């Protein structure tokens, strides 16, 4: 049975739990949020415009296996 509490939420928590993950390494500076749930890593990456303005608002989702 799936337990929703088993999900790892938040950029820092996910990155600490999966430091050797290729996507985590490659997108560490671009990610604004992260979640690891049911063996799926979800990273939120802001657009270039948001990054230029220094905003942390996610502009799109990038999901990597």
Phi/psi at 17 (5° precision): -75, -25
pTM of the entire predicted model? 0.68
Give the largest Cα separation in the chain, rounded: 43
Residue 34: count of CB within 10 angstroms of its CB: 24
Q: For residue range 2-58, what is the model confidence (pLDDT) as tens digits?
A: 898 999 999 999 999 999 999 999 998 888 899 999 999 999 887 666 556 655 544
How do the domains of the chain map onto residue ranges? 4-64
Distance CA 17, CA 25 (A): 12
Pull the structure tokens for residue 18.
């999966």
Give the residue carrying structure tokens 């939420």. Answer: 9
């Amino acid at each position: 049975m799936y337990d929703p509490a088993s999900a790892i939420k938040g950029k820092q928590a996910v990155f600490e739990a999966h430091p050797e993950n290729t996507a985590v390494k490659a997108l560490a500076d671009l990610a604004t949020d992260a979640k690891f749930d049911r063996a799926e890593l979800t990273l939120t990456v802001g657009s270039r415009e948001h990054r230029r303005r220094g905003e942390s608002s996610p502009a799109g989702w990038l999901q990597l296996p």
